[in-house]
Amino acid sequence: MYKFDAVINNEFIKTESQLEIINPDGLLVAGTVAALNAEQINQAFQAARAAQKAWESESLLKRISILKKWSNLLLEQKEALAQIIMAEVGKSHSDAVNEVMRSVEYMDATFEEAKRMQPLSLTGQDFGVANKLGTFEHVAKGVGLAISPFNFPINLAMSKIAPALVMGNTLVFKPATAGSLTGSMLGKLAVEAGLPAGVFNVVTGRGREIGDLITQNKEINFINFTGSVDIGHRILDIATSKDIVLELGGKDPALVMDDSDLEKYASEIIVGAFSYSGQRCTAVKRVITTNAIADKLVPILADKIKKLKVGSPKDNAFITPVIDMKSADFIWELIQDSKKDGAKVITGDKREANLIYPTLVDFVTTKMRLAWEEPFGPVLPIIRIDDLQQSIEVINKSNFGLQASIYTKDIAQAIHLAKKIEVGTVNINGKSQRGPDSFPFLGVKDSGQGVQGIHEALLSVTRYKGIVINY
C-alpha cells in the first residue's frame, strides 16, 4: 500500500482525511494520498506566489541545473515510478516505463529549447523610426495551475510542469485522483532534488470537492488543463484567470480511402484504437470508409483484434481493465445502445467488471451515440459512407477536432482532404498521436484551446517583456 503526503512549500502535509486510490486491476485500494482542505490549498498558492520572484531571478542555467537533478531522480526511480503508475492507472509495465522515459526526455528537450528562447531585438526602421532599439524578452507569467488527467499521470503532468518551471514560473499542481500517487511522488522527488520551497506544490483531493476552489484562487496567472470537455468548459466559465490552455477530448476519425494495403492500415488503426485500452485522447475512435472497403477491412480488423492479449497489466496484457467501474459502465452503455439501434458487433462485446474486451462494431450510423460520443475505452465503431464527400461531412460534424488519420496511396488526394478536415492535426498513413513531443499539439472546437508541444508550451507560460531604448 502506498501512502503519500501533499507537498506545500517543500513541507509534507499530512491530513486526517485521506483519499483512497483504487487499482483498476482488481479494484482494491492501491494507496492513499492527502485530501486537502480549502485553507491548505490556499497556502499552496501563497507559497507559490512568495517563491516566484526569487525563482525567476535565478539565471536560466541555474534553474535548469536544479530541474535537471529532478529529472535525474526520475530516471533513477524509473522502476519505482512505473510500479506506482501500474498500481494506480492499470498500465502494463512496458507502457509505464515508457511513460517515465518519455517524461525524462520531455524535460531534457524542454531545457534545451528554453536556452533557445532568445529575446527579439527590433528597431523601428520598417516604420521610419530611426532612433529606437527594442528587446522583447520571454518572461515568466507568474503563478501557474496545472491540472492533469489520469491516463498519463507523469507525462501529461511533466509536459505542463517542466516548461512552466524552467521559464521562472512557480506552480500548483493538481493531479487526477487516479494519478495522485504518481503526482505526490513527483512532489517528493522535487524536494529531494532541491527545488526551492514554494516553486512546486502538489495539491491532492477529489476534483469535484476541491476543483472549483482551486481554479478560483486569486493568485493564479495561468492555467494548463488536460481532461474532459465538461470540466474544461467549467474551468473556462469560473476560473479567475482567463489565460487557459485546454487539452480536452477527441473523436479522432480514421478515414480509409483505398484498399491498396489494408493489412498495414488495419495494424495501424488497431494500435491507434486499442493501446492502453483506448484511454488516450488521441485514440482512433471511429473508422470511416466506403461499403466496398469496409467489406474487406472489417474481417482483417476483427482477425487482429481477436489476437490482442486481454487481461492484467501484471501480465503485460494489451487490453487491461479501464480506469473504474463508472467508465466501464459508460463504454458498455455505448456498445449496447448501438446494438439496440441496429449496429452489428463483430467481435468483443464481453465484460468482466471493468475489463472490457476489445470490441468492433460495424454498421454504426450517424444516428447512434457511438458515432459521436467519446468512449475512452476499447471500442471501435465502423461508419460506412457512400463517397469521400460524405466522409468530410461526417468527420466535421463532430463537436471534437483533435486529430484525424487518412490511409491511402494517393497522397495528393489525402492532402486535399486533410485541408478540409477541421482538426488540429491530420496524419497521413499513420495513426493519430500527440508525439513526437516536439510537434505542436492542439485541438480545435471542443477538443481544446491553445497549443502544447515543447516550443509552444514555453511560449504559453511566458509573455513578452519589452524594453525600448530611444537614442
Ligand X SMILES: NC(=O)C1=CN([C@@H]2O[C@H](COP(=O)(O)OP(=O)(O)OC[C@H]3O[C@@H](n4cnc5c(N)ncnc54)[C@H](OP(=O)(O)O)[C@@H]3O)[C@@H](O)[C@H]2O)C=CC1
Ligand Y SMILES: O=C(O)[C@H](O)COP(=O)(O)O
Exactly one of 99, 219, 247, 373 is catalytic; which is it? 247
Q: Residue 229 interacts with ligand Y (CB under 6 A)?
A: no
Window of 116-124, 216-224, 277-285, 408-416 that interacts with ligand Y by CB under 6 A = 277-285
In the complex with ligand X, the residue whose CB is nearer, 71 or 226, is 226
152 binds ligand Y (CB under 6 A): yes
Distance from the Cα of residue 443 to its chain's centroid = 11
Q: SS3 of 150, please?
A: coil
433 binds, among ligand Y, ligand X, none (CB under 5 to 8 A by kind): ligand Y
Q: What Å distances lie between residue 295 and 300, 301, 437, CA to CA?
A: 10, 11, 36
Choose between 77 and 177: whose C-beta lies nearer to ligand X.
177
Q: What angle do CA 342, 343, 345 make, to 5 degrees?
A: 130
Cell numbers found for residue 267: 495494424
Report yes or no: 184 and 33 within 8 Å, Cβ to Cβ: yes
Minimum gap (Å) between residue 358 Cβ and ligand Y: 17
Site size with ligand Y, rule: CB under 6 A: 9
C-alpha cell at 174: 493538481
Q: Which of 92, 148, 408, 433 binds ligand Y (CB under 6 A)?
A: 433
The single residue among 251, 286, 434, 445 that binds ligand Y, judged by CB under 6 A, is 434
Residue 461 neighbours by CB under 8 Å, 6+ apart:
140, 141, 144, 163, 164, 167, 169, 222, 224
Question: Amino acid letter at 220?
Answer: I
Check binding of 440 to ligand Y (CB under 6 A): no
Instruction: From the list ligand Y, ligand X, none, pick the one residue 90 interacts with, judged by a Cβ distance below 5 to 8 Å according to partner type.
Output: none
Q: With left for phi above 0 and alpha for psi between -120 and 50, is residue 388 left, alpha or beta? A: alpha
Strands (E) located in 395-470? 400-401, 403-407, 425-428, 444-445, 448-449, 462-470
DSSP string, 293-319: HHHHHHHHHHHHHHTS-BS-GGGT-SB
**Could you say whether residue 318 binds ligand Y (CB under 6 A)?**
no
156 binds ligand Y, rule: CB under 6 A: yes
Nearest to 380 by CA among 297, 284, 293, 292: 284
Report the Cα 83 to chain-centroid distance in Å: 20
Min separation Cβ 226 and ligand Y, Å: 7
The C-alpha cell that represents 401 in the structure block: 477536432
Task: List residues near ligand X by CB under 6 A.
Answer: 147-151, 156, 174-177, 206-208, 211-212, 214-215, 226-228, 231, 234-235, 247-250, 281, 374, 376, 402, 443, 447-448
- Is residue 58 annotated as a catalytic residue, yes or no? no
Least separation in angstroms between residue 251's CB and ligand Y is 13
Stretch of 27-35, 285-293, 428-436, 456-464 contacting ligand Y, by CB under 6 A: 428-436
**Which letter, b or e, does each residue of 203-231 get, where b requires 16 or more Cβ atoms within 10 Å of its Cβ?**
bbbebeebbeebbebebbbbbbbbbebeb
Return d(Cα 174, Cα 211) in angstroms, integer: 9
Q: How near is the Cβ of 72 to ligand Y at its closest, in Å?
A: 24
281 binds ligand Y (CB under 6 A): yes
Whole-number Cα distances in Å, 83 to 96, 102, 335: 8, 16, 32
**Nearer to ligand X among residue 148 and residue 277 (C-beta):** 148
435 binds, among ligand X, ligand Y, none (CB under 5 to 8 A by kind): ligand Y
Q: Is 400 in the site for ligand Y (CB under 6 A)?
A: no
CB of 124 to ligand X, least distance (A): 41
Question: Is the separation of the CB atoms in 242 and 222 below 8 Å?
Answer: no
Residue nearest to ligand Y (CB): 280
Q: Residue 376 touches which of ligand X, ligand Y, none (CB < 5 to 8 A by kind)?
A: ligand X
Using the rule CB under 6 A, which residue among 91, 141, 251, 280 binds ligand Y? 280
Give 282 or 408: the residue with its C-beta nearer to ligand X: 282
Our finding on whether 354 is near ligand Y (CB under 6 A) is no
Measured CA to CA, the distance from residue 252 to residue 269 in angstroms comes to 11
Taking CB under 6 A as the rule, does residue 435 contact ligand Y?
Answer: yes
Q: How far is the CB of 356 from ligand Y (least distance, A)?
A: 18
* Catalytic (active-site) positions: 247
Contacting residues toward ligand Y, per CB under 6 A: 151-152, 156, 280-282, 433-435
